[in-house]
Structure formats: C-alpha cells, structure tokens
Amino acid sequence: MTDGSSDTPSASIKPYRLLALVAIYCIIAHVVPPPEGVDPQDWRRVGVFFATIGGLMLQPMPGSQVVLVGLVAMLVLGGLPMDRALSGYSVPTVWMVLIAMLMSRALRDCGLARRIALRFVRAIGGTALGLGYALHLTDLTLATGVPSITARSASIVFPIARGISGLYKSHPGASSGILGAFLMSCLYQGSVISSAMFYYSSAANLLLGDLAAQYAGITLTWTSWFVAGLAPGVVSSIAVPYLVYRVMTPELKQTPAAAEFAREQLTQLGPIRGREATVAIVFVAVIALWVISAWVSWLSPTLVAFLGIAVLFLSQALSWESALAEKSAWDVFIWYGGLLMMGGVLNDTGVTTLFAEWFGSWFVGTSWVVVFIATLVVYFYAHYFFASTTAHALAMYPPFLVLLVGLGAPAPVVVYSLVFINNLTAGLTHYGTTTSPVIFIEGYVSLKDWWRVGFYASVLNLAIWLPVGMLWWKVLGLW
C-alpha cells in the first residue's frame, strides 16, 4: 500500500482487533442515539464508516481488505444500493492514481529514477549536508508525478542512501552515527515535504482533493496545488534538512567518495537511450499536460494519465506483466475507490455538518483566525494516533473543513492548509505512513531519535507553513 493505507506484509488476521471494530460499529449504531435529523439507517452507515476508519488504524487485516469488508457492511447493514457502493470505482481520479502508479513502475524499472538520484549526488553530494539535500531533491523531482511516497522514498531514495552509508562503513547500530542515521532521518523528513508540495505525489492527496470538492466546492489541480505550496514548500525544503543536520549531526562531514561513486555509476550508465529515453519523454510530457489541463477543459488529468500509459504499452517501455506485478497500484485502487465512496456517504448523512455546527457553537464571537490556528495544531498532532495519512484525512478533514468555513474562514485557505498539513503530519512518528516502518526497521535511527527529530521538524514546519503560507496565499488572492 501507499501513502496512507498502512498495510503490512503480514497476511494474518488479528481476531481481537476485528472484535474491536464490531464494538465500534455496535456502540455508534445501536447504543449512541442518532442526532436529531439523522435517520437510523444513515446512522448505521456512520457506524460502518467509523468502524472502517478504526480498521485502518488498528490493522486487523490489510487495509484494502478492511475497506472491502466495510463496503459489504455498507450494503448489508447500511442498506446502501449496490451501484452507490461501487460508485467510488468509477471516479476518474481513482483510475488516474492507478495508472500513474503503473507509470512509476516503468520509471523505476528502466533505471531513470536511479539516474536522477545519482545526478543530484554527483552535483552536491560532496558533504553530508549536501547528500541530505541531494536525497530530498531526488524525492522532490519524482514527487511531481509518482503518486506514492513508498515508491519514491522506500523503493528508490532509501536504497541509494543505504548504499552511500555503506561506502563509509556506516551501518545500522553502533556505526549509524557516522552518516547513516542522518541520511535516513533527512530523507524521511524531506519525503513528507515532497508529498505536501505536489498534488499527484500521493494517493491520499487525490482523496483530499475529492473531499475538498465534495465539502467545500473547491477544485484542486496539479497547478493550483503546486502554486499554493510553492513558497512555504521551498522554505521548508531548505530549513528542515538543515534542522535534521543540526539535531542528528553526522560524525562525517565531508563525503567526496559519494560524489565520486555517483560519477562512476553515471559513466557506466552512459547516455539516456532506448526504453529509458522513452520513459523520460513520457514522464515529462505527462507532467506538462497535467499543468496545461488546468486551462484546457477537455484535457482532464485522467485522460493525460491514460495517454501516458498507452504510449508506454505501445512502445514496450512497460510490459503488462510488469504492470500486473505492481501490486501496490492495484491495492490503492481497491482502498481508494472504497474510501471515496464512504466519504460521500458520510457527507450525505449530514453528520459532518451537524458536528461542525455543534463544535462551532463553542466559538461564537471568536475570531476565525484564532480557531483556524488552534484547529490546525490539533489536526497536526492528532496524527500521533494514526498510522495512515488516508485514515487521518477521512476521519478529520471533512468536519474540520466544514467547521472552519462555517466560522467564516476563507474556504481556499482552509482547504490548502489542511491538505498540506495532512502530509506533513506523517513525519511525527515511525508509523506515520507506509514509508516510515520500512526505513525505521533497518535500525539506523533509534526510536527516541526518530520521535525527537519528528517533533522538532513538526514545530519548524508549522512555523513555516502557517505564516509563510498565509502571506503567500494573501499574495495569490486566496483570502
């Protein structure tokens, strides 16, 4: 899974956790009385929704299985019509994520992604801090069109960081402080910034975009997201790696061997040609068309993705066997479509609006700015209780969005601030998103250091994205 479904390789089912989900449903649907104006059937659907969210947090089984069981519960317990239950799988963005992830498979298989990383290491990898920035720039480049933090950071950037650490005999354990601990911390904290800066960098982001359209009537595009996040993203991209360098200062400051290693590897690779060249052209063309699609009504982002995958198949730059082997893409398709449907069902029940009205009544007479800042801080640190940015978004994004807009906060500012923060929250813990366990389990960074760096980075990110973001959005005319 990617970017929020928090699946693990284990296929075993944890029965006690499943019982906990049954308890969540029963308490909400049959013990807590439905709010005034919500009929019993809708209230049962609310119970199924929160039991599904609980399943993504407790992980009694892989996330996609949780969503499919939740879909069946919507049919049987919630009385949802079959066509409505399956409606999420006909949404264009769900197909776009699937196709974009298949295209990212070609990017990795042909070696282009590794070449990008080696170029950055060769250019600025002569120092430890430079290596940190090189890893982040690699992730940023790939984030323009790879909708998976796992595919980027865990599959591409992490192996390169591990290989460079090995060059200096910095391995998990006692020698990690030489270089490895810093590089792992830096690449992970940088990866959440990359996810925040680009719309199509994460499947959870596209879910957030669909929710923004449902609950606030705001349409997000690749271009609008990039422009809105540009100023705070650039500042954060400069400041956070340096913060990690100060907190996790490596024993080794100069790393000329890394730059030399990258130079040798690039020499062996030679010029871009053949399949790699085809993938490079398609990757650049797809991103360019995504940008243009904001102004060309008939050129939808999903159509662009379909065109890109068609060219890759026709040119044999991507085989159908490789596409089928990209299990995470098909996994995302299952949970994304199901969760999108459930978000729409929750909206239809009216519960989100009722919650916002009730909670908003506490702040009558209070400036929306005060409530806005307090809400963002609560939203951010609530991620200590989530192992999934997707579950976090589905549980908290709609009610907080409706609440703040209802209190008078400008809808575009609320939408963008919450979508950016939803990505940045993943840096808090070693279970914040699917990439973190992959890196943490290697043993380069201790639990104490991981949480310490995560907290420091969270404070710095909030200190950057809120004031810089608000000023930038004022310049852009969003409020």
pLDDT at position 443 over 80: yes
Can you tell me the mean pLDDT for 155-177?
Answer: 91
Nearest Cα to Cα of residue 324 among 141, 169, 102: 102
- Residues 362-389 have pLDDT tens digits of 877 788 899 999 899 999 999 998 877 8
Q: Answer yes or no: are the C-beta atoms of 269 and 89 closer than 8 Å.
A: no
Residue 196 has pLDDT above 90, yes or no: yes
Q: Which residue has the higher pLDDT, 73 or 392?
A: 73
Secondary structure of 16-75 as H, E, C letters: HHHHHHHHHHHHHHHHCCCCCCCCHHHHHHHHHHHHHHHHHHHCCCCHHHHHHHHHHHHH
- Is the pTM higher than 0.75? The answer reads yes
Three-point CA angle 122, 145, 159, nearest 5° = 45
Residue with tokens 């004022």: 474
Contacts of 380 (CB under 8 A, 6+ apart): 421, 424, 425, 458, 462
| Lowest-pLDDT choice from 227-231, 254-258, 278-282, 294-298 | 294-298
Q: Give residue limits of the domains in the chain.
A: 86-479
Averaged pLDDT, 172-198? 95
Position 125 pLDDT exceeds 60? yes
Q: What is the mean pLDDT of the chain?
A: 90
- Per-residue model confidence as pLDDT tens digits over 1-60: 445 444 444 457 888 999 999 999 999 999 999 988 899 999 999 999 999 988 887 889
Q: What is the pLDDT of residue 3?
A: 52
Any idea what the Cα angle at residue 410 is, between residues 225 and 478, rounded to 5°? 45
| 100 and 333 Cβ atoms separated by less than 8 Å | no
The reported pLDDT for the residue numbered 10 is: 45
Q: What is the mean pLDDT of residues 196-216?
A: 91
